[in-house]
Chain A
Amino acid sequence: MQHKMQEGTIISFTTISHPPKGFENQPRTIGLIELDDGKQVLGELNLSKLIATSYKLIGYRVKPHTRLSRINEQGLRIYEVCYEPLAQKPMETKKEFPGYIVALTGPSGVGKTTISKLLTSQISIYTVQVPILTTRKPSDQDENEYTYIDAKKFEVLKKQGKLAAASNIPSTTDTRWYGYRKSDIEKIWEEGKIPVVITEKGLLQDLSRHFGRRSILSFGLLPPGNSKRMMLSCLLHRLRQRGRDSEASIQDRLKNAQQDLEFFEQKSHLFDDLIVNEDVDAVFNALKGRVLEVVSQ
């Protein structure tokens, strides 16, 4: 029961008119909750306080309570964790289909930036790179893919709900926030083009919550290699070779990379295709094909 005592987000819900024997004989609303540690659980939703109607609960944040669940045949009182939806705005608000976004996800050094540049230069009539908002300091190595902003301003934008996605990427040296502004993405749609974003797990999950999973043409990029160890050593090689990062930063990136590779397995539903980046041209052609398919729809 301990692990169920976490906040989470409603994935789906249903109200059962006649619950099973032993439970209170009145309609019972049950939610499938994604807890903040990523595990999913089922639990009664306690709707009495804030939300009168059970409609549109998907995407609401919930907090846990223990509550008498039922009394069994031997008279034992069984307590279970139930969840109370919080009155704040749901995380996942968009119901209509807003448009497509191409998302490239993968560990540092796998070639996201290179592929993104190719996409947005070779087929620029269809695709535009979305500027990455970041709180980290500019570096000579950056190639104007970033919009720099200080941490306070970032926090304000986040609170105002102006960010479609925000994520804090762990580093031993400082806290770095990365995000995408809603307005940047919407502007590209208005131009009739497809926004291209570079993401990691936090950003991808946020974007998928915000715009709906099916808006995202989601590509996971994997380094070549038959095993996780081989893939990581390939990344290490590439990171050292490109010479943009200090050794300490490379170590950070590798640590994150390991988690990124695991993320592909754990959250496979967030990806349409996993592509091994062995040959940049081949990857570009594969992506181009998918983008043109969407454009022609």
Chain B
Amino acid sequence: MNQDIFLIGKGQTPFGEHWDKSLKNLMDEAVTAAIDDAPINALDIDFIVVSNMLGERTNDQAHLGAMASSLLPHRPPAIRTEAACASGSVAVHTALSLLESGRAETILVVGVEKMTDVSTDEISSALMGAADSEKDIPSGLTFPGIFGLIANRYMHEYGLTKEQLNLVSARHHANGVSNPNAQFRSAIPAEKISESPNVADPLCLLDCSPVSDGAAAIILSNNHESPIRIAASQLSTDTLSITDRPSLTSFPATKDALDRALEEAEITRDDIAHLETHDCFSIAAVINLEDLGFANPGAGIQLYEADNPTPTINASGGLKACGHPVGATGVKQIVDLTKQLTTSNKRYALAHNFGGACATCAIHILENTDA
């Protein structure tokens, strides 16, 4: 960051199945909540960045920038970002870049996705758009399938058992109980995870984040202050297809983005008090902890075996319990971390959001300047 940029407002809809609300209703609800939360009025917003992946396929709706802009009385300029499940964090990254460039002073970022209006077949096929249409799709692979391949390889290389892996979803569900915006708010014991139907061996239904509707919004500004400052924003990419990767058990884009983010924030990993990581599938959370350097390769699961890990991991419930409206998730992670920092009065929190099999990865570090 070449200047101080603050998060001055945040809001979200509960994530879940919102059959009575349209894409626009969801967007409106999150935007209204964020503006209400901020010490500004709507007219202070001079740019909007919308994140969404699937509008055309699931809602017959493109052109979401203009849609978002129409929600405000003065219709500020607006754009949309798409980077599969990382769309949200890429929108934040884009907004920060616009602020740094001097193009805008107060930006509304809103992530929105409405996935439950179409059939499972349709949503599953739409999500495969995040993979490589030439190399990955013709085999009949699905996204759970991609992470099934990753999980089997990981288990083979490191001897992780399915019983151990079950701890991941169990922990995220336990965390989700106290989050009023989570899609699922019941604790699910570890042994129930592998009793759920098989999706892509070894992954069961409860190893996968759900299909969800929801929206989340934040307001970023360099001319209004708040205790929460954005200390770093880094973006990294990798090959679209897993067939072009040397290893299935680590995501280099995470490592790359993390190194640069820590450098940008001028802190070390040990300074991070709260982490929200992209647990689209249980195995992803394990690998993420290793790539983020909180565990050695093969030892990520130990943080789920421990009772109170440092940093806190997906205290919101993560994608698993909160739900994963793909375009909204990256923004929602930042909403949650802001709450966590304010409650704990700790100094740093890290949001790790990725798209596809970590073909796009964005990391944001938030600083609580009151701490």
Q: A20-B124, A21-B125, A58-B153 are in contact. Are A32 and B140 (CB under 8 A)?
A: no
Give the interface centre of B144, B157, B298 by most chain A CB atoms within 10 Å: B157
> A96's closest neighbor in chain B, by CB?
B159
Contact B198 A214 (CB under 8 A): no
Q: With an 8 A cutoff between CB atoms, is B289 at the interface?
A: no
Q: A40-B243, A213-B157 are in contact. Are A16 and B200 (CB under 8 A)?
A: yes
Contact A214 B242 (CB under 8 A): no
Q: With an 8 A cutoff between CB atoms, is A49 at the interface?
A: no
**10 closest residue pairs by CB, A with B:** A14-B148, A269-B246, A12-B153, A42-B139, A15-B201, A40-B243, A12-B149, A23-B140, A21-B121, A269-B247
For residue A48, give the distance in angstroms from its CB to the closest CB of chain B: 16
Contact B139 A44 (CB under 8 A): yes
The A-contacting residues of B in range 131-163, CB under 8 angstroms, are: 135-136, 138-142, 144-145, 148-153, 156-159
Q: With an 8 A cutoff between CB atoms, is B42 at the interface?
A: no
Contact B139 A14 (CB under 8 A): no
Q: A16-B144, A69-B138 are in contact. Are A30 and B149 (CB under 8 A)?
A: yes
Contact A41 B157 (CB under 8 A): no
A18 contacts across to B, CB distance below 8 A: 120, 199
Contact B148 A80 (CB under 8 A): no
Q: With an 8 A cutoff between CB atoms, is A267 at the interface?
A: yes
Contact A70 B248 (CB under 8 A): no
Q: A11-B248, A40-B243 are in contact. Are A16 and B153 (CB under 8 A)?
A: no
For residue A279, give the distance in angstroms from its CB to the closest CB of chain B: 28
Q: Give the interface residue-count category, chain B.
A: 35 or more
Q: CB < 8 Å: which of A11, A30, A80, A269 contacts B145?
A: A30
Q: A13-B149, A16-B141, A30-B141 are in contact. Are A41 and B200 (CB under 8 A)?
A: no
* Measured CA separation A95–B155 after assembly (Å): 9
> A268's closest neighbor in chain B, by CB?
B246
Q: With an 8 A cutoff between CB atoms, is A63 at the interface?
A: no
Extra contacts, 4 of them, besides A14-B202, A16-B142, A42-B138 (Cβ < 8 A), are: A15-B200, A16-B199, A214-B298, A267-B246
Q: CB < 8 Å: which of A43, A54, A212, A214 contacts B139?
A: A43
Q: Give the interface residue-count category, chain A.
A: 35 or more
A201 contacts across to B, CB distance below 8 A: none
Interface residues of A, Cβ cutoff 8 Å to B: 11-21, 23, 28, 30, 32, 39-44, 54, 58, 69-70, 78, 80, 95-97, 212-214, 267-269
B158 contacts across to A, CB distance below 8 A: 214
Q: A15-B200, A54-B201 are in contact. Are A20 and B142 (CB under 8 A)?
A: yes
Interface residues of B, Cβ cutoff 8 Å to A: 120-121, 124-125, 128, 135-136, 138-142, 144-145, 148-153, 156-159, 197-203, 242-248, 297-298
* Measured CA separation A78–B124 after assembly (Å): 20
B145 contacts across to A, CB distance below 8 A: 14, 16, 30
For residue B260, give the distance in angstroms from its CB to the closest CB of chain A: 19
Q: CB < 8 Å: which of A13, A21, A78, A80 contacts B152?
A: A13
Q: A13-B149, A70-B140, A213-B157 are in contact. Are A42 and B135 (CB under 8 A)?
A: yes
Contact B244 A40 (CB under 8 A): yes
B153 contacts across to A, CB distance below 8 A: 11-12, 32, 58
For residue A2, give the distance in angstroms from its CB to the closest CB of chain B: 15
* Measured CA separation A69–B245 after assembly (Å): 25
* Measured CA separation A20–B199 after assembly (Å): 12
Contact B243 A69 (CB under 8 A): no
Contact A12 B152 (CB under 8 A): yes
Give the interface centre of A12, A14, A19, A213 by most chain B CB atoms within 10 Å: A14
Contact A16 B140 (CB under 8 A): yes
For residue A7, give the distance in angstroms from its CB to the closest CB of chain B: 17
> A31's closest neighbor in chain B, by CB?
B149
Contact B156 A58 (CB under 8 A): yes
Contact B149 A19 (CB under 8 A): no
For residue A31, give the distance in angstroms from its CB to the closest CB of chain B: 8
* Measured CA separation A16–B198 after assembly (Å): 8
Contact B125 A80 (CB under 8 A): no
Q: A32-B242, A95-B159 are in contact. Are A80 and B149 (CB under 8 A)?
A: no
A23 contacts across to B, CB distance below 8 A: 140
> B156's closest neighbor in chain A, by CB?
A58
For residue A70, give the distance in angstroms from its CB to the closest CB of chain B: 7
Contact A16 B148 (CB under 8 A): yes
Contact A80 B138 (CB under 8 A): yes
A212 contacts across to B, CB distance below 8 A: 157
Q: CB < 8 Å: which of B125, B140, B151, B199 contacts A30?
A: B140
B125 contacts across to A, CB distance below 8 A: 20-21
